[in-house]
């Protein structure tokens, strides 16, 4: 096949969906019919908010039992919903469907935007969307971290208080909600969108418009959740339990609608990722050659697509209770607060693995590079990820051991919770097998991977204890559970995210992160993460409940130690942000095309990555982890010569 023939042919099967017409090259970056951007989106969001609030007041004006105070939840809900629609209209996310609806043609003539403003626009280039997600999740992380600092400042003293009890619980609730919603997209959004097409040899995502839409819905959901603060916050914690939910003020509307909005973005992102991985793999990329990070994204995408609709349904039921006085979760009117817990945790426990699995996928990509060894038991790791995804739907009621669950059901959910540790253990042992007797290059990404395994081991061991009903009943609602949760999520996911950023930012930006500042960031983050959260195991066993701003005076020393460590942990993130600014803008160091000497397909394309990723669709010839074999063939034949010399080979 000649190059010209290849470019004019629609590839099907393993490489289906690749449109190779050269006239489409600018299509990936076209923002829409109109040159709309974030400024227009902000203006239309405000307009939509005002219209929605007026419309809500108008609808409820004749119903005193709804519009019974100065805080009309129906008006607030419609204001936020109309604001989201205005945001999407302003950014251009709805241009294409409206254009098709009204028969507008000529969309292909739109010229691409190729300057810095493209990062503030609705764009169809998966690499730009990935970078937009990087900024978005870092913003989530920063604002959620500031709220965490406020929590630890309050806990410096058991009797002298910075906040009232009501304000404190609202800060805790906002912190947890922001962090959990950020965490669901912290890897799938930035690194999944950017690198999955590159790693499978695709020129784009399956549905670029859905990909871009998922990001702008993600940002809209963040703004909706954050709007709870000016509305007075919500006192339920991040889990939103009824009956507190139905008793809460107008800030609860922001919580429920925010979850629903972000949930829609999560479903779209998961569906798009799954379709892309299944249908857009390059020729020769059989399932046994798919990179382990892509396996982790596929498992996560299945969870996003199947579990999130349950959360959206629960959120909409709660909104109806708050706005039009239904009684889904109101026990005294025939509903059940227990129903919310089942709906929430049916999503909420798969959500834990939505966060954990991509982290292990990143570790699986990085370890072979810095040990120069194949990934140990690759197929076991892939099977473990699918097993975790499947079993995660059978464990949700271990969160309800003290919430009225039928005692006869406790052994079943204790068993399923312990069973899920088996495929999780497989993944962990794959990492240990890869590291066994290896000569490790302790570059910054590898340091974060090693820290991930250390932290997750502590979180996993304590999780086994919590799966046991008697222990769970004893420590439920205390700092022991809080510490376990942070070790598994923050200690695993966040360290994996940092490993991925340090590893892949040279490819994303063409610039290397400063090594000295990066190592300072790592050691501050690793040491003070453990010094912050490990004492909380002790605090919890000594009886301190979470979400309470006062505690026994004999626990002040441990709380002070944990708070001071948390402040230094927070400072470590400022070190990271400084490194980002220093390395990207102040004193940038140009990155080599493949600084880590990786065999991964994403490193074999040009730097910076061209709009359509590959000049020709690569033909995959082997798995990507053959580091220890002398004269091992390149991962793929790019028609360019392999990983280091883009000049010699012809397409097979």
Query: Is residue 10 predicted with pLDDT exceeding 90?
Result: no
Query: Is residue 14 predicted with pLDDT exceeding 70?
Result: no
Task: Report the predicted TM-score, pTM, of the whole model to 2 decimal places.
Answer: 0.90
Query: Is residue 640 predicted with pLDDT exceeding 70?
Result: no
Nearest to 459 by CA among 476, 478, 483, 477: 483
Q: Which residue has the tokens 């880590």?
A: 596
Q: Is residue 298 within 8 Å of residue 220, measured between CB atoms?
A: no
Quote the pLDDT of residue 647.
32
Quote the pLDDT of residue 205.
96
Quote the pLDDT of residue 126.
94
Answer yes or no: is 169 within a domain: yes
Which residue segment(s) compose the domain that 577 sits in?
124-590
Q: Is residue 300 within 8 Å of residue 293, measured between CB atoms?
A: no
Query: Is residue 478 predicted with pLDDT exceeding 70?
Result: yes
Alpha helices in 121-207 (DSSP H): 126-154, 165-185, 193-199
Quote the pLDDT of residue 23.
38
- How many independent structural domains does the chain possess? 1
pLDDT band at 29 (very low <50, low <70, confident <90, very high): very low
pLDDT band at 209 (very low <50, low <70, confident <90, very high): very high
Q: Which residues, listed in sequence order, are joined to residue 637 by a DSSP beta bridge?
A: 619
Query: Is residue 21 predicted with pLDDT exceeding 60?
Result: no
Q: Tens of pLDDT along 135-164?
A: 999 999 999 999 999 999 999 999 999 999
Query: Is residue 104 predicted with pLDDT exceeding 80?
Result: no
Quote the pLDDT of residue 57.
87
Quote the pLDDT of residue 632.
54
pLDDT band at 281 (very low <50, low <70, confident <90, very high): very high
Between residues 533 and 114, the one the model is more confident about:
533
Answer yes or no: is 286 within a domain: yes
| Nearest 10 degrees: Cα torsion 99, 101, 104, 110 | 30
Query: Is residue 508 predicted with pLDDT exceeding 50?
Result: yes
Q: Is residue 97 within 8 Å of residue 34, measured between CB atoms?
A: no
* Average pLDDT for 213-242: 94
Quote the pLDDT of residue 113.
63
Backbone dihedral angles phi then psi of residue 620, each to the nearest 5 degrees: -80, 130
Quote the pLDDT of residue 69.
45
Alpha-carbon distance of 633 to 652, in angstroms, equals 13
Q: Tens of pLDDT along 312-369?
A: 999 999 999 988 889 999 988 889 999 999 999 999 999 999 999 999 999 999 999 9
Quote the pLDDT of residue 62.
72
Query: Average pLDDT, whole number, for the chain?
Result: 87
Answer yes or no: is 60 within a domain: no
Between residues 356 and 635, the one the model is more confident about:
356
> What percent of the chain has a predicted confidence (pLDDT) above 90?
73
Answer yes or no: is 37 within a domain: no
Nearest to 547 by CA among 143, 177, 257: 177
Query: CA gyration radius for the chain?
Result: 25
Quote the pLDDT of residue 111.
45
Answer yes or no: is 22 within a domain: no
Answer yes or no: is 455 within a domain: yes
Q: Tens of pLDDT along 46-94?
A: 999 999 999 988 888 777 666 554 458 889 999 999 999 999 999 989 8
Residue-level length of the chain: 652
Nearest to 584 by CA among 514, 524, 523: 514
Q: Count Cβ neighbours within 10 Å for each residue of 230-253 and write b for 16 or more, e otherwise.
A: ebbbbbbbbbbebbbbbebbbbbb
Alpha-carbon distance of 178 to 200, in angstroms, equals 32
| Domain CATH code at residue 506 | 1.20.210.10
Answer yes or no: is 336 within a domain: yes
Query: Is residue 16 predicted with pLDDT exceeding 50?
Result: no
Alpha-carbon distance of 36 to 48, in angstroms, equals 16
Q: Where are the beta strands (DSSP E) in 183-224?
A: none
State the DSSP string of 580-593.
HHIIIIIS-EEPPS
Answer yes or no: is 148 within a domain: yes
Query: Is residue 606 predicted with pLDDT exceeding 90?
Result: no
Quote the pLDDT of residue 626.
87
């Amino acid at each position: 096949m000649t190059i010209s023939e290849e470019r004019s042919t629609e590839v099907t099967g393993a490489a289906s969906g690749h449109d190779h017409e050269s006239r489409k090259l600018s299509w990936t970056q076209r923002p829409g019919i109109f040159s709309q951007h974030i400024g227009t989106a902000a203006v239309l969001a405000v307009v939509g908010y005002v219209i929605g609030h007026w419309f809500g007041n108008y609808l409820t004006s004749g119903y005193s039992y709804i519009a019974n105070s100065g805080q009309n939840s129906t008006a607030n809900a419609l204001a936020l919903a109309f604001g989201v629609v205005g945001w999407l209209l302003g950014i251009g996310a709805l241009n294409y469907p409206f254009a098709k609806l009204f028969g507008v043609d000529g969309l292909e003539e739109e010229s691409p935007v190729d300057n810095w403003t493209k990062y503030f626009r609705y764009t169809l280039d998966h690499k730009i969307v990935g970078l937009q997600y990087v900024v978005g999740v870092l913003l989530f992380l920063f604002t959620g971290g500031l709220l965490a600092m406020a929590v630890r400042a309050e806990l410096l003293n058991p009797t002298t208080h910075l906040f009232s009890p009501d304000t404190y619980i609202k800060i805790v609730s906002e912190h947890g909600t922001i962090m959990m919603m950020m965490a669901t997209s912290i890897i799938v959004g930035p690194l999944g969108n950017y690198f999955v097409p590159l790693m499978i040899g695709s020129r784009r995502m399956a549905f670029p418009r859905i990909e871009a839409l998922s990001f702008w819905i993600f940002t809209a959901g963040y703004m909706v959740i954050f709007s709870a603060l000016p509305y007075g916050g919500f006192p339920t914690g991040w889990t939103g339990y009824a009956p507190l939910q139905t008793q809460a003020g107008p800030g609860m509307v922001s919580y429920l609608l925010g979850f629903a909005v972000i949930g829609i973005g999560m479903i779209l992102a998961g569906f798009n990722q799954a379709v892309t991985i299944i249908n857009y793999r390059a020729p020769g990329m059989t399932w046994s050659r798919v990179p382990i990070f892509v396996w982790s994204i596929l498992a996560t995408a299945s969870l996003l697509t199947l579990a999130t609709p349950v959360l959206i349904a629960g959120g909409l039921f709660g909104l109806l209770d708050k706005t039009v006085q239904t009684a889904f979760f109101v026990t005294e009117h025939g509903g059940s607060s227990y129903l919310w817990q089942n709906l929430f945790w049916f999503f909420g426990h798969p959500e834990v693995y939505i966060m954990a699995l991509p982290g292990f996928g990143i570790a699986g990509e990085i370890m072979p590079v810095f040990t120069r060894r194949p990934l140990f038991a690759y197929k076991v790791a892939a099977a473990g990820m699918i097993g975790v995804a499947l079993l995660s739907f059978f464990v949700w009621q271990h969160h309800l051991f003290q919430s009225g669950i039928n005692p006869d059901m406790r052994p079943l959910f204790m068993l399923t919770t312990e069973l899920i540790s088996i495929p999780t253990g497989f993944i962990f042992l794959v990492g240990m097998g890869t590291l066994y007797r290896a000569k490790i290059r302790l570059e910054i990404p590898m340091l974060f991977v090693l820290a991930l395994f250390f932290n997750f081991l502590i979180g996993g061991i304590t999780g086994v204890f919590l799966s046991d009903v008697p222990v769970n009943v004893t420590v439920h609602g205390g700092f022991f559970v809080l510490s376990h949760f942070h070790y598994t999520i923050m200690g695993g996911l966040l360290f994996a995210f940092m490993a991925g950023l340090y590893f892949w930012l040279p490819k994303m930006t063409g610039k290397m992160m400063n090594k000295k500042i990066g190592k300072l960031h790592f050691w501050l983050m690793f040491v003070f993460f453990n010094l912050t959260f490990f004492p909380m195991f002790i605090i919890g066993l000594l009886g301190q409940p979470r979400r309470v701003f006062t505690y026994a005076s004999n626990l002040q020393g441990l709380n002070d130690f944990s708070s001071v460590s948390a402040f230094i942990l927070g400072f470590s993130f400022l070190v990271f942000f400084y490194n980002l600014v220093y390395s990207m803008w102040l004193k940038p160091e140009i990155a080599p095309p493949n600084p880590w000497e990786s065999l991964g397909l994403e490193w074999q394309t040009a730097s910076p990555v061209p709009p359509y990723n590959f000049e020709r669709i690569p033909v995959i010839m082997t798995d990507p982890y053959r580091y220890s074999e002398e004269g091992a063939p390149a991962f793929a034949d790019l028609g360019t010569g392999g990983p280091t010399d883009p000049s010699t080979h012809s397409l097979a």
